Chain A
């Protein structure tokens, strides 16, 4: 299992613009860090760089597991959830079809998908097409895959934005359990998360 994420001297450039440079961050088991900074500071880009979708201009991102340094591609394919602004759901498919696919694809099973659907209060919605769901319901459906397939590192981009107060508290509980089990969370937020976190300032 993934234990430590080590970011060293990272710099990200988009087009001609240097978003940030010399970023160092060490995230260990059971730790949560939130990225704060103005719009366009590079929070999303940092999350995507950790996920391996974006090539950093300089610096390294390393993953350490129980047996020392892990191969980055393997760590990303097995140990990492990325939840971006978009929920990644097809509007013409039913909620259950999408949750089932996302869970199986990320390494869970149908049982864990059902359990996660219960956890996120989605059971009534499973037969509906995604297009019929509200923004908050969609986000819950996307969040459900985090609980459905066990992966150590959660990269969350504004995860709480469309959720109501009750759902925020419920998701806070899910995050607390994830951390208690040795998981890690790296999130970009404007509102504080309902869990103890360390703030990391992004941008000049």
Chain B
């Protein structure tokens, strides 16, 4: 457990400092959120209706950003060998990496999401639900993204491969989250979508470390 804490702190400092960290993700997020309304035509009421959806989808895209380096940098410089020979199994190493990724980019993005939605004209009352969806969904994005990053280990042009592996896996939480947000702002039943997203997230957090550990072992072999 102590070793896990040591590793988590290191991963956090790497995720926070390297490759832009939260600043890069937030800037990218801002860009997407500004560009999408430009493409959707000039009708503020239409924009307001899809604002929570845009803020939510842009989150999924921004979560893709620094995924490629999650395992790759440790694989390239030999640190993954060291991590494999530590007191914690590679599955726990993967959990630490994904948690750090979530804390360094997912959580700041979740706090930025209501600001973006507000700018687009969304109703104030959906904000608490949007933050909740963004936090939970961000956790699922981090773990599924880690899965893609581990599977793409050692391949050339890994970044593109990660996106292709990961985006289909992002579809269910995006649909469930958008359903919950949509239902809530329209006064329809919305808890179903949220619960489904929570379940999907729990499944991702529980299962993807097993796959990540196996993928890392396979890459080291």
Contact = CB atoms under 8 A, between A and B. Distances in A.
Interface of A: 48, 51-55, 76-78, 80-82, 84-90, 92-93, 97, 101-102, 104-107
A85 B79 contact: no
A86 B77 contact: yes
14 contacts: A51-B84, A53-B84, A53-B221, A54-B221, A76-B85, A81-B85, A82-B81, A85-B78, A86-B77, A89-B77, A90-B77, A104-B6, A105-B86, A106-B85
Given A78-B87, A90-B14, A93-B13, A84 B77 contact: no
A60 B7 CA distance: 31
A87 B78 contact: yes
Contacts of A101: 6-7, 10
B58 to A, nearest CB: 28
Interface in B98-155: none
A51 B73 CA distance: 21
Interface class of chain A by DSSP:
loop
A77 B84 CA distance: 8
A21 B148 CA distance: 36
Contact of A92 (B3, B18, B85, B221): B18
B7 to A, nearest CB: 7
The 3 A-B residue pairs with the shortest CB-CB distance in the complex, in nearest-first order: A86-B78, A88-B78, A88-B79
Contacts of B38: none
A92 B6 CA distance: 18
Given A89-B77, A90-B77, A93-B13, A105 B220 contact: no
B115 to A, nearest CB: 30
B82 A102 contact: yes
Nearest to B10: A101
B17 interface: yes
Contacts of A78: 87
Contacts of A92: 14, 17-18
B40 to A, nearest CB: 40
Contacts of A90: 14, 18, 73, 77, 79
A78 B87 CA distance: 7
Contacts of B87: 77-78, 105, 107
B210 to A, nearest CB: 16
Interface in B145-203: none
A102 B84 CA distance: 12
Contacts of B78: 84-88
Nearest to B14: A90
Q: Could you say which of B14, B18, B78 has the most chain A C-beta atoms within 10 Å of its C-beta?
A: B78
A92 B84 CA distance: 22
